[in-house]
Amino acid sequence: MTRGPLRFGLSLDPDVSAPLIRAAQEADRFGLDLLGVRDRPFRRDTADALTLLAAVLAGTSRIRALPVVACLPLRPPAALAKAIATMDRLSGGRVELGLGAGMSPDGIEAYGGPRLGAAAARRALEEAVQIIRLHWSDQNGLRFQGEHYRFAAAQAGPVPVHQIGIWLGVTGPRGLDLAGRVADGWIAPSSLVPPKRLADGQRRLDDAALRAGRDPGEIRRVYVLEGSLDASDSRGFLHGPPRQWIYELTELAIGHGVDSFLFAGDPEQLPVFALEVVPAVREQVTRERAGALQA
C-alpha cells in the first residue's frame, strides 16, 4: 500500500508547567513537519490549545501546527474557523485543523458544553465541517441552518493562505464513514486504534470515500504514537528501543498506509525520535517502496 510522502511530528500535551515553546522550537529545529497540540479545555493546569498554537507559530519558522484535536463542543465552529484562518495567514500558511466531537462528555458538560449522544455528536461534527468550509470560502451571503449550529454572514473570511486540511479524530465505524465522506484526513491515536483495528479502520475509510465518489488516496492518515522510546527490551507495541520503533513505523507506513506520525511520548525522548527513528524510517520506506515498484 503506497501513499504520499511521509510526515513526522510531535504531539504536545499542553501542561502549563512544561517548557512547551521550547519543545515546539526543538521539533522545528530537528526538521519535523508537524506540531500537534491536544485540546482538552476542561482539564485544569492546561494551556489553551489555540493560544498555545499561536505562540508556537510565532516562535517557529517552518513547522506546521494543528490542534489534535479541537474539542468541538467547546469550540463554536465559526469562531474556530476564524481563529485557525487568522493563524494560517499570520504564519504564512502553516496551519491545519484537527477536529473531534469531544472525548470526555463529563468534562465537556462540567465546562458548560452540551452533552450529546454518539449519533448527535457525529451530526454536529459534520455540520461543523460544513460551516468551517463556508467560513473559509470566498462566497458572500452565507447561511447555514442545521440541527446543532446556525451560521449567517454577509461575507466569508478571512480566507486562509492555503487550503487548510480538516482532519477528523474519530475511532468508531460511523465516525470513519463520516471522515471518508467529508474529511481531508483521519487522526487515530495508537492507544485506541492499535494495528489490528487500524487495518479495519482504513478499509472502512476507503469504502466510505469510494461511495462518496472520492479518491481514498487523497485522505491523509495521521497516527498518534502513544508510546515510549528507550534502550531497554521491548515491552509491547511502541514501547521499546529505536530499532523496534523503526521496524513498527515502517510496517505502519508500508503495510497500513499511514503517511503522518505524531510522537506523543516523553518530550525528553524527542531527539531520539527525530534524529534516529525518523531518518531511518524514511530511508527504509523509500527502499521498500522502490523495491515494490521494481518487482
Dihedral angle over CA of 106, 111, 116, 121, nearest 10: -110
Q: Grid coordinates in use for 153?
A: 454572514
Q: What is the domain partition of the chain in residue ranges?
A: 7-294
Task: Measure the CA–CA gap between 265 and 228, rounded to whole angstroms.
Answer: 5
Per residue of the chain (295 residues), what is the pLDDT tens digit? Answer: 445 689 999 999 999 999 999 999 999 999 999 999 999 999 989 999 999 999 999 999 999 999 999 999 999 999 999 999 999 999 999 999 999 998 888 999 999 999 999 999 999 999 999 999 999 998 888 889 999 999 888 777 899 999 999 999 999 999 999 999 999 999 999 999 999 999 999 999 999 999 999 999 999 999 999 999 987 788 999 999 999 999 999 999 999 999 999 999 999 999 999 999 999 999 999 999 888 776 6
Nearest partner of 150 among 169, 131, 163, judged by Cα = 131
For 181, phi then psi, to 5°, come to -80, -40
> pTM score, two decimals?
0.95
What is the CATH number assigned to the segment(s) 7-294?
A: 3.20.20.30
